[in-house]
Amino acid sequence: MSKRNFYQFDHDARKDKGPPVPPNDAELALSTIGQHSKRKVAYFYQEEASAFHYGEGHPMKPARLALTHNLVFGYGLHEKMNCFRSRSATDEEIAHYHSSDYIEFLQRVTPDNRHLWSQWMTRFNLGVDDCPIFDGVYDFCLMYAGASLDAARKLSAGTSDIAVNWSGGLHHAKKWEASGFCYVNDIVLSILELLRVHPRIVYVDIDVHHGDGVQEAFYRSNRVMTVSFHRYDGSFFPGTGNIDEKGVGVGKNYAINVPLTESVDDDSYAYIFRNVMNDVMESFRPTAIVLQCGADSLAKDRLGCFNLSIRGHGECVKFMKNFNIPMLVLGGGGYTIRNVARAWTYETSVLVDQVLDNDLPNNAYMSHFGPEYVLHTPIKDVSAENTNPRQKLDYIREKIREYLRGVEHAPSVQMQEIPSGLEKLHENGDWMADKNADMYADFREDIGLFSDTRNEKELNTADDREHYQGEFDQDRDWPDEEDVDVSL
């Protein structure tokens, strides 16, 4: 196979095939668990994203993406997937969630001029240790967000069953500010994209840190249920994710938190994950899954404190895949980068139903994987004591079941209320008309994101873009195939 074939440009996907029909309840039947059906998997990668550098000593290392990609290709997994070179997101796409002043600042600030902007740096939580201004920071954001949006659109068009972007999953970024190594929240942007065609989306987060940015975005929504499994003790970053955080307004009971403590092992994690996710899927009956696979929940992570093996982490991917509904798979945290690459490679193999040899294939970064040079290297700390006994897990499960009893069974778009505070949008003119004209209305206003500062001009501009046609927005500016660099 020539290199060119690794990264195709999917012209078929550009044709207007109309939105896919969401699966019905029968198709969503939980009896599919355990089946191993072949799914069409799309894989997105942009080589340049791995070359950015947060700064000396910073634990977030985009180079982990190159390690992962080389292992994925070294094992030949690209032959089981449709692989695409993703494009960078546009400013307009980022503005679908983030505030215009924050975006503008990210565009302008550089390591050389940052000293001129100290007040703004504080306002946007930039320049601190966690979120430094490094060379090309905004370009980096556009790359990982573009890949997640491309992946989401592939699912919305129905041309893939599973779409993977290991560079995405930056779950801490807020509408107005950076947080926890995350500047732009590609997950929120992707979910907003999926909401154009999917009535209900479940977001699942297995990063060791709470998925606070995504929870915050959809805290008032009953179309997106966020489920985060993470360490929680009140002080571990970001400090949120208590079991009592469960959503507000129409979104009440649609935010689920599973707070765990250190050294949780494979068996305990699988027990709580399977039980909670079974209950969530049965109650909410989503039509799409967004799975954030933060790998800092692995044992021996530089920042994490869980005790999961690579197989234990991958078990969550396997479990969610078997629900057989469209699934967007994203990366996230992960700071012992050789193990991040191992985990995400293994999880890619799970998605394409390929059993991998434990001996790593020869690849450009082989020296990172010594001295064992194997995929499933023993990383668990056998002396660590699991602080999550079954009794505690059962308490969490029961509490969540209680919340889920308050979830309207498979709520439909039509049943959704317009929350207060949005009347202004209606007064501004065409919002409702545009929404009604759109077969699959985008209910992003339900998440309470719009502020009074959003003026009529911005609103009308956004409205023009929100007519959905096939896989791509009308405003998409796709290059011709000749212009796409496929030489990876």
Annotated binding site: 130, 180, 207, 209, 296, 335
Nearest CA among 305, 381, 301 for reference residue 342: 301
- Residue linked to tokens 């894989």: 43
The least CB distance from residue 333 to Zn ion, in Å, is 3
Q: Which is nearer to Zn ion, 213 or 326 (CB)?
A: 213
Q: How many other C-beta atoms can be found within 10 angstroms of the C-beta atom of residue 118?
A: 10
Residues found near Zn ion in the complex (CB under 5 A):
207, 209, 294, 296, 333
The least CB distance from residue 313 to Zn ion, in Å, is 13
Dihedrals φ, ψ of 214, to 5°?
Answer: -75, -40
265 strand-pairing partners: 307
Distance, in Å, from the CA atom of 265 to the CA atom of 415, rounded to the nearest integer, reads: 41
Task: Give binding residues for substrate as ranges.
Answer: 130, 180, 335
Q: Which is nearer to Zn ion, 46 or 297 (CB)?
A: 297
Nearest CA among 147, 83, 133 for reference residue 351: 83
Q: What DSSP string runs through 244-269?
A: T----GGGTT-EEEEEE-TT-BHHHH
The least CB distance from residue 209 to Zn ion, in Å, is 4
Q: Which is nearer to Zn ion, 241 or 314 (CB)?
A: 241
The least CB distance from residue 282 to Zn ion, in Å, is 28
Q: Which is nearer to Zn ion, 205 or 279 (CB)?
A: 205
Decide: helix, strand or coil at residue 477. coil
The least CB distance from residue 350 to Zn ion, in Å, is 21
Task: Give binding residues for a divalent metal cation as ranges.
Answer: 207, 209, 296
Residue with nearest beta carbon to Zn ion? 333
Q: Which is nearer to Zn ion, 161 or 296 (CB)?
A: 296
172 is known as an active-site residue? yes
Crossing angle (nearest 10°) for helices 266-284 and 390-405: 10
Q: Which is nearer to Zn ion, 247 or 294 (CB)?
A: 294
Q: What DSSP string runs through 396-453?
A: HHHHHHHHHHTS-SS--GGGPPPPTT-HHHHHTSSHHHHHHHSTT---GGGGT---TT
Nearest CA among 69, 84, 42, 36 for reference residue 321: 36
- Residue linked to tokens 């078929």: 12
Q: Cβ neighbours of residue 326 under 8 Å, at least 6 residues apart?
A: 20, 155, 158, 160, 161, 162, 198, 287, 288, 289
Positive or negative: CA dihedral 19, 24, 30, 31 = negative
The least CB distance from residue 257 to Zn ion, in Å, is 15
Q: Which is the catalytic residue, given 98, 172, 210, 230?
A: 172
Indicate which residues carry an active-site annotation. Answer: 172
